[in-house]
Amino acid sequence: PLPKIKGDVKFDQLVFEYEKGRPALKGVTIDVKAGQSIALVGHTGSGKSTIINLLCRFYDPVQGRVLIDGIDIRDVSIESLRSQVGIVLQDTFIFAGTIRDNIRYGRLDATDAEIVKAAQAVNAHDFIMNLPDGYDTQVEERGNVLSMGQRQLLSFARALLADPRILILDEATASIDTETELKIQEALKALLAGRTSFMIAHRLSTIRHADEIIVLDHGRIVEQGNHDAL
């Protein structure tokens, strides 16, 4: 298993194809120090999600390696990998149950106090307290009670509570009002602090938060640098 990890991540000359002869990654190398945040940007089909798929071991590379703290992730169990790598997906996953249960998902041992603390840290506490039954409010799978922005904040609270060393964020493209947008940006800062993170970023404001921006095109890195340099 992976010991308590620091969170260095290296993608070492990754080559991958979903279908023979149609490479989705053509030799991608990214060296990330623990605690850094990386924004992956590029046109549709450029390979952003594929990089994430390989980090999560949904697939293994055809060539090259993914290393965490210098260890090839193929040499550790999937469970131990998944316990260190958290994902916040574009289509925020809300299930039928209470708000509390939805935040607790992935950390079933969390206390009520820990749940509230996580919600506060990502600006979700206030809107939760305004719901009819607060943390005990029932939500549906489609999240009918919640706006897109609120769903996003809820998923941030869930990720913060799970506290993975490495965090993947596939940002939603849905439009969100300016006030919620500001809350999300603040929450994002709290969520990223002290973790290595990979963001498939659509909003410019999110990209600005990143220590390093990686621009992909047709399975290759075509530009790399911080927001000021690019």
Q: Which is nearer to ligand ATP, 82 or 202 (CB)?
A: 202
Least distance (Å) between residue 51 CB and ligand ATP: 7
Q: What is the DSSP string of 148-186?
A: HHHHHHHHHHHHHHH--SEEEEE---S---HHHHHHHHH
Rounded Cα gap, residues 209 and 206, in angstroms? 5
Least distance (Å) between residue 170 CB and Mg ion: 7
Rounded Cα gap, residues 212 and 37, in angstroms? 7
Least distance (Å) between residue 213 CB and ligand ATP: 14
Q: Which is nearer to ligand ATP, 161 or 172 (CB)?
A: 172
Q: Out of ligand ATP, Mg ion, none, which partner does residue 149 contact, by CB within 5 to 8 A per kind?
A: none
Q: Out of ligand ATP, Mg ion, none, which partner does residue 44 contact, by CB within 5 to 8 A per kind?
A: ligand ATP
Q: Which is nearer to ligand ATP, 18 or 95 (CB)?
A: 18
What is the pattern of x (binds ligand ATP, CB under 6 A) and - over residues 34-63?
--------x-xxxxxxx-------------
Residues that bind Mg ion (CB under 5 A): 48-49
Q: Out of ligand ATP, Mg ion, none, which partner does residue 179 contact, by CB within 5 to 8 A per kind?
A: none
Cβ contact 137:128 at 8 Å? yes
Which helix H or strand E contains 192, and what residues bound it?
helix 178-192
Strand segments, DSSP code E, in the chain are 9-19, 22-32, 37-42, 63-68, 71-72, 85-88, 97-98, 138-139, 166-170, 196-200, 212-217, 220-225
Least distance (Å) between residue 157 CB and ligand ATP: 25
Residue burial 139-150, b: 16+ Cβ < 10 Å; e: rest: beeebeebebbb
User: HSE (CB half, 13 Å, CA atoms) of 88?
Assistant: 28
Helix axes 148-162, 178-192, angle to 10 degrees: 10
User: Does 18 help bind ligand ATP (rule: CB under 6 A)?
Assistant: yes
Q: Out of ligand ATP, Mg ion, none, which partner does residue 45 contact, by CB within 5 to 8 A per kind?
A: ligand ATP
Q: Out of ligand ATP, Mg ion, none, which partner does residue 158 contact, by CB within 5 to 8 A per kind?
A: none
Q: Which is nearer to ligand ATP, 133 or 223 (CB)?
A: 223
Residue with tokens 């060296």: 31
Q: Which is nearer to ligand ATP, 7 or 47 (CB)?
A: 47
Binding positions for ligand ATP, rule: CB under 6 A: 18-19, 24, 42, 44-50
